[in-house]
């Protein structure tokens, strides 16, 4: 048994090394990170400076965390933070916090340019660290592409006629005015405004592709992310085809899964063949602790 575990570790580590070489090579060739061109210049512009983008994230976080229960005990976040740091080690320098929350749905989303939120129900759906790595890679793509700032810039322009912002107080005022003047309100914020997503399918596909690359480059199985999306979207491995496309019966989730597998097959064979592992004892223990009903009786909860 020990020999089997050791062989599997060596295979995964070597495959991750080969994929990392591929990943870095792709970046050098393109002079940009794969999948990060999520917003087209003609679609929107970013009115936020780096500091203002941080303020925007703080404003969004304040509204979100007033509606969600947030797990603030470090014991519960250490595991997922370790996975995110492993991914971030091969990405452009950025500081991202992972927050576990008790929301009504299984979901994960980014807010601003430094926070990723994952609900306990989403954690309950996962089977291993490799799926978790893929999910985090997807959200990191949105953050690294500054998608939130692009979308809020467009919302400010469309709803308020605003083309510039000032300090944090000014940003908070405009953000709240935008919510009130749009079809959203603060009561609906937890389910409609995290990352205020108006992303088209192409943007989502690029974030998915980046998730596969980021997972593979750090030795995680990119196939695990594909399998997770299939299970989460309940597509049952259906990806549609030209005929279902022609008759308009291919669902958006099926089309998305098709693009994910297309991106997966574009990776080197050594990356594609990193199989999703069985849950590690560490992952299983962490998942059980995070999803246990008693979680919100322990540690600092907001």
Count the alpha carbons within 13 Å of 150 in the hemisphere toward its beta carbon. Answer: 19
Among the listed ranges 37-46, 52-61, 151-160, which one has the minimum average pLDDT value?
37-46
What's the DSSP call for residue 110?
A: E
- pLDDT at site 301: 43
pLDDT tens-place string over residues 125-135? 999 999 999 99
Quick check: 157 pLDDT over 80? yes
How does residue 19 score in pLDDT terms, banded at 50, 70 and 90?
A: low
- What rounded mean pLDDT belongs to the chain? 80
Quick check: 263 pLDDT over 70? yes
Query: At residue 243, what are phi and psi to the nearest 5 degrees?
Result: -70, -45
Which is more confident, 293 or 226?
Answer: 226
How does residue 184 score in pLDDT terms, banded at 50, 70 and 90?
A: low
pLDDT tens-place string over residues 228-262? 999 999 999 999 998 898 889 999 999 999 999 99
Contact indicator for 117, 101 with CB cutoff of 8 Å: yes
Based on DSSP, count helices (H) and strands (E) in the chain, helices before strands: 14, 4
For 129-158, what is the mean pLDDT? 91
How does residue 68 score in pLDDT terms, banded at 50, 70 and 90?
A: confident
Among the listed ranges 105-119, 182-196, 197-211, which one has the minimum average pLDDT value?
182-196
- pLDDT at site 273: 85
Among the listed ranges 157-166, 248-257, 266-275, 292-301, which one has the minimum average pLDDT value?
292-301
- Calpha distance 34→27 (Å, rounded): 7
Contact indicator for 27, 225 with CB cutoff of 8 Å: no
For 4-20, what is the mean pLDDT? 42
**Neighbour tally for 16: CB within 10 Å:** 21
- pLDDT at site 13: 45
- pLDDT at site 180: 83
For 112-120, what is the mean pLDDT? 92
- pLDDT at site 302: 42
pTM of the model: 0.82
Per DSSP, the residues of the chain read -HHHHHHHHHHHHHHHHHHHHHHHHHHHHHTS-TT---S-TTT------HHHHHHHHHHHHHHHHTTSEEE--HHHHHHHHHHHHHHHTTSSS---EEEEEE-SSS-EEEETTTEEEEEHHHHHH--SHHHHHHHHHHHHHHHHTTHHHHHHHHHIIIII------SHHHHHHHHHHHHHHSS--TTTHHHH-GGG----HHHHHHHHHHHHHHHHHTT--HHHHHHHHHHHHT-TT----HHHHHTT---HHHHHHHHHHHHHHTS-HHHHT-PPPPPPHHHHHHHHHHHSGGGGGSS-B-
How does residue 163 score in pLDDT terms, banded at 50, 70 and 90?
A: very high
Residue 196, Ramachandran bin (φ over 0: left; ψ between -120 and 50: alpha; else beta): left
């Amino acid at each position: 048994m020990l020999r089997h575990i050791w062989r599997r570790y060596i295979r995964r580590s070597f495959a991750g090394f080969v994929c990392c070489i591929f990943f870095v090579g792709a970046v050098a060739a393109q002079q940009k990170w794969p999948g990060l061109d999520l917003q087209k210049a003609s679609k929107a512009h970013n009115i936020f400076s780096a500091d203002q983008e941080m303020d925007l994230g703080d404003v969004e976080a304040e509204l979100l965390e007033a509606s969600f229960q947030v797990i603030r005990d470090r014991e519960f976040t250490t595991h997922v933070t370790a996975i995110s740091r492993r991914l971030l080690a091969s990405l452009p320098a950025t500081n991202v916090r992972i927050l576990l929350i008790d929301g009504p749905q299984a979901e994960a989303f980014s807010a601003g340019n430094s926070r990723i939120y994952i609900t306990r129900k989403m954690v309950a759906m996962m089977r291993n660290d490799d799926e978790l790595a893929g999910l985090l890679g997807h959200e990191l793509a949105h953050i690294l592409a500054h998608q939130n700032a692009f979308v809020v810039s467009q919302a400010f322009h469309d709803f308020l006629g605003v083309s510039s912002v000032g300090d944090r107080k000014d940003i908070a005022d405009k953000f709240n005015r935008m919510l009130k003047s749009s079809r959203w309100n603060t009561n609906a914020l937890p389910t409609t405004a995290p990352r205020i997503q108006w992303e088209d399918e192409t943007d989502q596909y690029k974030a998915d592709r980046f998730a596969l690359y980021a997972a593979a480059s750090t030795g995680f199985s990119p196939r695990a992310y594909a399998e997770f999306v299939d299970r989460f979207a309940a597509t049952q491995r259906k990806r549609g085809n030209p005929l279902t496309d022609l008759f308009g019966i291919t669902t958006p989730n099926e089309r998305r899964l098709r693009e994910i597998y297309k991106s997966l097959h574009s990776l080197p064979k050594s990356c594609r063949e990193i199989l999703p592992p069985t849950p590690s004892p560490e992952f299983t223990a962490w998942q059980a602790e995070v999803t246990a009903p008693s979680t919100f009786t322990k540690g600092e909860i907001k």
